[in-house]
Structure 1
Amino acid sequence: MADELFMKTEIHFTHANGIPAQSYQKFFTYFQDEFDLKSIPMIGMNPQYPITHDWRYLVDQIIDDVEQQFQGRKVVGLGHSFGSLLTLMSAYKRPDLFSQLVIMDPPFVIGSKSAMFEIAKKLKLKAIDQFTPAGITLKRTDHWKDHAHAYTSMRHNQLFRHFDETCFQDFLSYGLQEDTERGGLTLTVPKVIEAEIFRTVPAWWWRTPRKAPVVPVHLISANKSPFYKQGFPQGIQKTYQINYSLMQGGHMFPLEQPEKTAELVKHIIAQQKK
């Protein structure tokens, strides 16, 4: 009878740009005893939800996935980077789907920079590739002979060098796929898709109401994250009254420190329930 009465808290997770959800499997394991965590496998690859300048269809993809996977039950919205911003945008549009949010290092463009960024996007200026990681993304190697060569090529570059080893191995398993044209392996999320997502990060926050969604929301950043260094979490706290916590590490902290990150997320969820 006690088991029947016990209902696990439900979490909907959305991944970072270019990092399929299954890459986070080790992070997910720390939730399995207390939570029912479901994730959206991949964002940006479904033609029914195209990438546009305001991400409206990607937001719809999150909303549709929550509705399909949880059948009307409210969820904790959890996301990382690009995925956390989509989760936040979904909560503004459909707050009835969420009980609370934990957003991990969102690329939340605010203040005077947001207006300049929006202009650069609309005029399709080449400068947009300097404002975002799009330019670097397009220069990335995206073809390898096999997993061993991919490991050697990527393990020590800036993005992956601090990844937990299991998380990195999971990324190799799910972030790479067979290259049907060239042979060998290529990225599961093509770099042109990843770059287009970076180029279209919404910068419309300067036109929105200066308040958080109606559901509780907490932001986690990291001391070496470029977003923290640029003052994004601090600005969000001041303008939107969204509080934040700080991890040690870089922008990819859920995959660098999966256990510590999961423990902090669970603590925040418990605090926001009170």
Structure 2
Amino acid sequence: MGDILHFSHANGFPVATYRKLFAALEGQFEIRAVDRFGHDPRYPVTRGWPHLVDELLAAITEGYREPVWLAGHSLGGFLSLMAALRAPERVKGVVMLDSPIIAGWRARVLRMAQTLGLDERPSPAYRTKTRRTHWDNADAVWQHFKAKPNFARWDDDVLRDYAHHATEPTGRAAERTLRFQRDIEYRIYRTLPTRLGRRVAEGTPFPVAFVAGTRSRELRQCGLAATRRLVGARLRYLEGGHLFPMERPLDTAEAILALIDEMRTYPARAGRPSQGRSTLPLSGR
């Protein structure tokens, strides 16, 4: 079995949404993951996401005997970087998928908007409040999202995984509801961290790589300067929007593999984490 790659999902998308991406990586890595951030009452959603980082760190520190690779999409990329900053001895490197670091004047503006309660409408939080949550059956879920422009660009296999694995039965006939609770998704959007740029301004004791979507609205909003300073030459672009891992899962897997190969040459750190309890692979969760 190869190295462990612990993957963290984007806000609103339980980890099984990425099954096709994982299948392309499983020959090289043992894939592990947290199913849904923010749904365990021990790790509530608060400003700056410290408890969500705790949730990821619990999986890393309690589950793995050796340092692991971290990768994450959007929310998951931020959490991966923040967890690695708190426990660098347990991490080999981080791959961030369209998780641009907010820094400088943009961070100051966002921090002020959060304080004044003006950050909702510019973000996806505004649409999240009225997101549909119930359907007659899994096929109705697929048809609903397939009709939306942003989802219509998804790989069909990924969209079917989302329709089936990101929803669950309600107990009434074949009716299904979203597994990622709408209010939790909303609170995550409203509590974005604004001080991460300062924390990584002088670099990190582990390598970081970044994959950006060529049409990512989030990337345009946040800018790429702080991220580019952090990752240097370990920056790649993939055709697509912010959800390019869902649009191009196989290309995304190829980019992750290539970037991790580059990061393997990063100077080794001294020391190893203490032993902990083993955890189940993704397929056993």
TM-score (norm 2): 0.87
> RMSD over aligned Cα, in angstroms?
1.9
* 2:207–2:231 CA contact under 8 A, matched in 1: no
Q: Distance in 1 between matches of 2:223 and 2:135?
A: 36
In the other structure, the counterpart of 1:95 is 88
Deviations 1:238-269 (A, max 9, x none): 3x354421111111111111111101110111
The answer on 1:194 being equivalent to 2:185 is: yes
Alpha-carbon shift at residue 183 of structure 1 (Å): 8.3
Count matched residues. 264
Given residue 24 of structure 2, which amino acid in structure 1 is its aligned partner?
Y
The answer on 1:161 being equivalent to 2:152 is: yes
Q: Distance in 2 between matches of 1:206 and 1:260?
A: 28
Alpha-carbon shift at residue 105 of structure 1 (Å): 0.6
Q: Quick one: which of 29, 53, 62 aligns to 1:59? A: 53
The answer on 1:85 being equivalent to 2:65 is: no
The answer on 1:224 being equivalent to 2:215 is: yes
Deviations 1:34-61 (A, max 9, x none): 2111111111100000000011110010
Listed as ranges, the gaps of 5+ residues in structure 2 are 266-285
Q: Distance in 2 between matches of 1:184 and 1:241?
A: 45
Deviations 1:202-258 (A, max 9, x none): 1113543512321000111110011333362333213x3544211111111111111
Query: In the TM superposition, what are the counterparts of 1:57-206 in structure 2 within 5 Å?
Result: 57-70=51-64, 72-123=65-116, 125=117, 127-179=118-170, 184-206=175-197
Given residue 200 of structure 1, which amino acid in structure 2 is its aligned partner?
T
What's the secondary structure of 1:45's corresponding residue? Answer: coil
Q: Distance in 2 between matches of 1:93 and 1:267?
A: 26
The answer on 1:46 being equivalent to 2:40 is: yes
Alpha-carbon shift at residue 181 of structure 1 (Å): 8.7
If asked which structure has higher relative contact order (CA below 8 Å, sep 6+), I would say 2
What's the secondary structure of 1:58's corresponding residue? Answer: helix
**Fraction of identical pairs, as percent:** 27
Alpha-carbon shift at residue 118 of structure 1 (Å): 1.2
Q: Distance in 2 between matches of 1:221 and 1:191?
A: 26
The answer on 1:254 being equivalent to 2:248 is: no
Given residue 256 of structure 1, which amino acid in structure 2 is its aligned partner?
E
Structure 1 residues 157 and 67, CA, compared in 2 at 3 Å: closer, same or farther?
same
In the other structure, the counterpart of 2:22 is 28
Structure 1 residues 241 and 185, CA, compared in 2 at 3 Å: closer, same or farther?
closer
Given residue 189 of structure 1, which amino acid in structure 2 is its aligned partner?
F
In the other structure, the counterpart of 2:279 is none
Q: Distance in 1 between matches of 2:257 and 2:9?
A: 18
Structure 1 residues 22 and 192, CA, compared in 2 at 3 Å: closer, same or farther?
same
Q: Distance in 2 between matches of 1:181 and 1:47?
A: 26
* 1:82–1:107 CA contact under 8 A, matched in 2: no
Structure 1 residues 196 and 181, CA, compared in 2 at 3 Å: closer, same or farther?
farther
Q: Distance in 1 between matches of 2:203 and 2:190?
A: 25
What's the secondary structure of 1:263's corresponding residue? Answer: helix
Alpha-carbon shift at residue 31 of structure 1 (Å): 1.2
Structure 1 residues 35 and 227, CA, compared in 2 at 3 Å: closer, same or farther?
same
